[in-house]
Amino acid sequence: GENVEQHPSTLSVQEGDSAVIKCTYSDSASNYFPWYKQELGKRPQLIIDIRSNVGEKKDQRIAVTLNKTAKHFSLHITETQPEDSAVYFCAARGVDSNYQLIWGAGTKLIIKP
Amino acid sequence: SQTIHQWPATLVQPVGSPLSLECTVEGTSNPNLYWYRQAAGRGLQLLFYSVGIGQISSEVPQNLSASRPQDRQFILSSKKLLLSDSGFYLCAWSEGRSNQPQHFGDGTRLSIL
């Protein structure tokens, strides 16, 4: 079945710098890739998503890129701020997973002041 | 707009006791509904999902069960809780159409003593 690997597990960046989190997936038929942010003790919240018919999507300081050939997608956060500190999860939906989301293990992003 | 309600927020139960967690969605019809469990510091584990009333798919064999007695109501149950059932339980919904994001409730933090 579908497998999603997420790296790194922990990422520490200086405030104002950029952060990049990468995910790879195994099902070449996967066609939907959301990213969620989860603050401590809170629910995951969708921050951006991308479908397989586009290669990049931006929303202010956040962008996601998709490389279907290599089967990986990445979350880019620019000009990081303290409130970006959280755990970020990627996910992929494809045929192998019976159209359910398969989740990455999460990345803890720490923004150093 | 759509909203999802999940209760209780916190629950402490003894081993061997029953469980009932409820989730309701407002502002949409025929949503897909999901139950996830998240262990402390870990990722999201899909437990059950439902694409319609009375239709439940189980992802992980366990002593939990789910029911969908009404279109926008999803219930997670157990007859006898185990210590390993402790965790953060999240209900989510998505539009019935394909490739739509999932939206999470605030979660129930379940502690088994």
Q: Per-residue pLDDT tens for B48-78?
A: 999 999 999 988 867 999 999 999 999 999 9
pLDDT at B73: 97
Nearest chain B CA: its distance from A105 CA (Å): 5
Alpha-carbon dihedral A76, A82, A86, A91, rounded to 10 degrees: -20
What token pair was written down for B38?
A: 């998240």
Nearest by CB to A104, from B43, B57, B104: name it: B43
Are A46 and B103 an interchain contact pair (Cβ–Cβ within 8 Å)? yes
- The whole-angstrom distance between B45's CA and the closest CA on chain A is 8
CB contact under 8 A, A43 and B43: no
Query: CA separation (Å) from B7 to A74, B15, B21, B78?
Result: 34, 20, 6, 16
Nearest to B43 among A31, A34, A89 (CB): A89
DSSP A97: G
Question: With 80 as the cut, is the pLDDT of residue B97 above it?
Answer: no
Distance of alpha carbon B72 from alpha carbon A110, whole angstroms: 37
* Closest chain A C-alpha to B89 CA, distance in angstroms: 10
With a CB cutoff of 8 Å and minimum separation 6, the contacts of A25 are A2, A3, A4, A5, A33, A71, A72, A73, A92, A94, A102
Look up residue A30 and give its two tokens. 């996967």
Q: How many CB pairs under 8 A join A and B?
A: 39
At A99, is the pLDDT very low, low, confident or very high (cuts 50, 70, 90)?
confident
Between residues 22 and 41 of chain A, which touch chain B (CB distance below 8 Å)?
31-32, 34
For chain A, what is the mean pLDDT?
A: 94
B50: which 2 tokens? Answer: 């439902």
| Whether B87 contacts chain A with CB within 8 A | no
| Residue B54 contacts A, CB cutoff 8 Å | no
Give the count of beta carbons closer than 10 Å to the beta carbon of residue B97. Answer: 7
The answer, yes or no, to whether residue A55 has pLDDT greater than 80, is yes
Residue A60 per-residue DSSP state: T
A103 with B102: Cβ contact below 8 A: no
Q: Say whether residue A43 is in contact with chain B using an 8 A CB cutoff.
A: yes
Lowest-confidence region among A66-80, B17-31, B89-103? B89-103
Rounded Cα distance between A68 and A30, Å, is 9
Q: CA A94, CA A84: separation in Å to the nearest integer?
A: 29
Q: What is the mean pLDDT of chain B?
A: 93
Which residues from chain A sit within 8 angstroms of residue B104, using beta carbons?
43-45
Q: Is B42 on the interface with A (CB under 8 A)?
A: yes
Instruction: In whole angstroms, give the CA distance from residue B92 to residue B105.
Output: 6
